[in-house]
Structure 1
Amino acid sequence: MHVSSGRWLLGLGLALTTAVLWGLLPIKLKPVLASMDPITVTWYRLISAGLVLLVWLAARKRLPSFSKLDGRYWLLAVAIIGLVLNYVAYLMGLKRLSAGTTQLVIQLAPIFLLLGSVVIYREEFSRAQQIGLLVLLTGFALFFNQRWVELLTSLTQYTAGILIMVFAALTWAFYGLAQKQLLTQWSSVQIMMVIYLGCASLLTPWAEPAQLFELNTVQLWLLLACCLNTLVAYGAFAEALAHWQASRVSAMLAVTPLITFACAAVGSLIWPLWITAEPLNVLAYTGAALVALGSAQTALDFRRVLQNRRLKRELKLAALQSEKGAH
């Protein structure tokens, strides 16, 4: 089993970087989907990121050796299929939902990953983290308070979008769990290069690259930004898993919808033709605060962090006293 490096502060920074980039992603994708289908958008994002990593690894003579997989090709297959299904389903859901709602539902993904990492990797899940998860889920319920009636009483495009996003969240969890185990054979960059190119290969028969010429200037720049987002965000996520427990990384990513709503609100004031803010009531804002609080508690378990720091100080002091005694 893969063991995290223990550099939790680096893992935290990488996880936050991923959260910010993923928070911006649906805002940038929404205008692009007006002129390009989900499969083609996904193909451009994956092939561009995969080729950049291929060139970079080849230049450094660090291309992955498949012999290191030691027959565990099924892990690679799970990661590739999981990610490609997640990418396509995410965009299919985004076409039916607002950017904010999309990010709220996709937050089931880190919860699925959290639960999977506890069961499969036997990662610790303390009582304080359990309370944090309960607070986080309560926040989700409040965040959705304006949508529950529509969601539970009608089979609309909105309902279909929600179901598609739940599927996208589940497939992402399978990808994340498989990728974490692959870190025992390859580096995070090597893993992402193989997964990106593998996903792009699966989508090639259905992609229509010529749709690129149907985009206007703004949409072209947004598509480029989405491609860069794919490269940096998933690279940061993969590296975060190398340094921090998957359960904590997944919990920190729960702040992503808050970033989406905040950026959408600001963006709607600056570019109202391209970005629409989603109205929130008091309960929704309360839910947002609870999501952030629950996410932080679940990810960090502040009491345990303080205990670890205190223990390190005591061990350091004991070592210094021992040194003085020896002299």
Structure 2
Amino acid sequence: MQNHTKGIIYAAITAFFWGFLAIALKVAVREVAPVTVVWIRFVVAFIMLSGWQSFKSPASFRILIKPPVLLILAALALSWNYMGYMLGIHHTTPSNAQLFIQTGPLILAIAGFLIFKEKLLRNQIIGFSIALLGFSFFYRDQLQAFFESADTYQLGILLTISGALAWSVYAILQKKLVRTFSVDSLNLVLFGLPALLYIPFVEFRPLLELSWSWWLLLVFLGANTFIAYTCLGKALKYAEANKVSIIIILNPMITFITMGILTELNVSWVEHERFSAITIVGAALVFLGAVLVARKNKSR
């Protein structure tokens, strides 16, 4: 399999897992404090990765002794990305948080052209234009809800945007670092350092009172982090940043479809969303634009 194809597949796996993440986080904060949820995500992901690397490549742990400065900065950025996104979901709905967190991948796409000197070809220009048109339809109802919302709701959106900006810093630094280091060794620091930083803010007592079903949800969130960010690192290694970003941006469609099903089922454990025929048209345009951007060019 060619590297370009590998990169697209890894990015698609990341988008798939992130598509369900916002809903799971919204449910988790009903019972667990946001900072505790963030800490558990990093801890579970670090434990899973450490177990895997202990058998696969024990030498990768050497990076923990003296991590590069850029890697430390990337870990700090990722730690706030998690917290900003978590607080954003706490104050808004999963779909609205998914809307504004896409600021991060959009910045990464721009960085691909400006920083990494990636070529923007005709089919990619057309694809980006179609995708942006689709987003204007896809998010119309959510943007309307934002402008009609209360102050607390808007605070959640601003926190989400701050998390998106932090994610773009992480992704740009990660794109540079994967040229020299393996993805798994980088993730040991990216998961481990935030886990240490958040320990003073964690409420441990409520965790002892959780039932097995809540613990299952928290483990899922950690596994989601491990799988998604491992695949994301590999996607950035094998494919251009602008293509990775447009694939990742597809993940809100998974969230919207899932939320649409849950809204129709009238479940009580997650807030309902707004949907319309225009939302569906927008989703189709976004998908078409992503296909044009991600398609391999024969001349390259």
TM-score in terms of structure 2 length: 0.91
Alignment map for 1:220-231 (pairs within 5 Å)? 220-231=215-226
Residue in 2 that maps onto 1:316: none
Deviation at 1:269, TM superposition (A): 5.5
Alignment map for 1:56-205 (pairs within 5 Å)? 56-59=52-55, 60-66=57-63, 73-152=68-147, 156-205=151-200
Using the alignment, how far apart are the partners of 1:108 and 1:195 within structure 2? 21
Deviation at 1:155, TM superposition (A): 5.5
Using the alignment, how far apart are the partners of 1:149 and 1:56 within structure 2? 45
Deviation at 1:47, TM superposition (A): 1.2
Residue in 2 that maps onto 1:48: 44
Using the alignment, how far apart are the partners of 2:26 and 2:49 within structure 1? 26
Residue in 1 that maps onto 2:242: 247
Using the alignment, how far apart are the partners of 2:205 and 2:149 within structure 1? 37
Deviation at 1:154, TM superposition (A): 6.0
- Residue 64 of structure 1 contacts residue 186 of structure 1 at CA under 8 Å; is this kept in 2? no
Residue in 2 that maps onto 1:10: 6
1:22-64 deviation digits (Å, cap 9, x = unpaired): 0011111111101212211111110121122223323332324
Alignment map for 1:212-291 (pairs within 5 Å)? 212-268=207-263, 272-291=267-286
Counterpart residue type for residue 15 of structure 1: A
SS of 2:32's equivalent?
Answer: coil
Using the alignment, how far apart are the partners of 2:64 and 2:214 within structure 1? 42
Deviation at 1:111, TM superposition (A): 0.6
- Residue 7 of structure 2 contacts residue 234 of structure 2 at CA under 8 Å; is this kept in 1? yes
Using the alignment, how far apart are the partners of 1:32 and 1:66 within structure 2? 32
- Residue 104 of structure 1 contacts residue 140 of structure 1 at CA under 8 Å; is this kept in 2? no
Using the alignment, how far apart are the partners of 1:13 and 1:138 within structure 2? 25
Deviation at 1:101, TM superposition (A): 1.5
Using the alignment, how far apart are the partners of 1:184 and 1:296 within structure 2? 26
C-alpha RMSD of the superposition:
2.4
- Residue 68 of structure 1 contacts residue 185 of structure 1 at CA under 8 Å; is this kept in 2? no
- Residue 118 of structure 1 contacts residue 247 of structure 1 at CA under 8 Å; is this kept in 2? yes
Residue in 2 that maps onto 1:325: none
Counterpart residue type for residue 255 of structure 1: L
Using the alignment, how far apart are the partners of 1:151 and 1:27 within structure 2? 18
Q: 1:154 to 1:280 in 2, by over 3 A?
A: closer
Structure 2: which 5+ residue stretches go unaligned?
none
Q: 1:196 to 1:247 in 2, by over 3 A?
A: same
Deviation at 1:83, TM superposition (A): 0.3
Residue in 2 that maps onto 1:311: none
Using the alignment, how far apart are the partners of 2:227 and 2:142 within structure 1? 33
Using the alignment, how far apart are the partners of 2:41 and 2:23 within structure 1? 15
1:93-116 deviation digits (Å, cap 9, x = unpaired): 001111112112211211111111
SS of 1:215's equivalent?
Answer: coil
Using the alignment, how far apart are the partners of 1:296 and 1:33 within structure 2? 35
Aligned residues: 299
Identity %: 29
Deviation at 1:138, TM superposition (A): 2.0
Based on CA coordinates, which of the two structures has the bigger radius of gyration? 1
- Residue 21 of structure 1 contacts residue 229 of structure 1 at CA under 8 Å; is this kept in 2? yes
Deviation at 1:74, TM superposition (A): 2.5
Using the alignment, how far apart are the partners of 1:249 and 1:46 within structure 2? 23
- Residue 268 of structure 1 contacts residue 274 of structure 1 at CA under 8 Å; is this kept in 2? no
- Residue 263 of structure 2 contacts residue 273 of structure 2 at CA under 8 Å; is this kept in 1? no
- Residue 91 of structure 2 contacts residue 156 of structure 2 at CA under 8 Å; is this kept in 1? yes
- Residue 139 of structure 1 contacts residue 291 of structure 1 at CA under 8 Å; is this kept in 2? yes
Using the alignment, how far apart are the partners of 2:65 and 2:178 within structure 1? 11
Q: 1:55 to 1:218 in 2, by over 3 A?
A: closer
**Greater displacement, 253-262 / 73-82:** 73-82
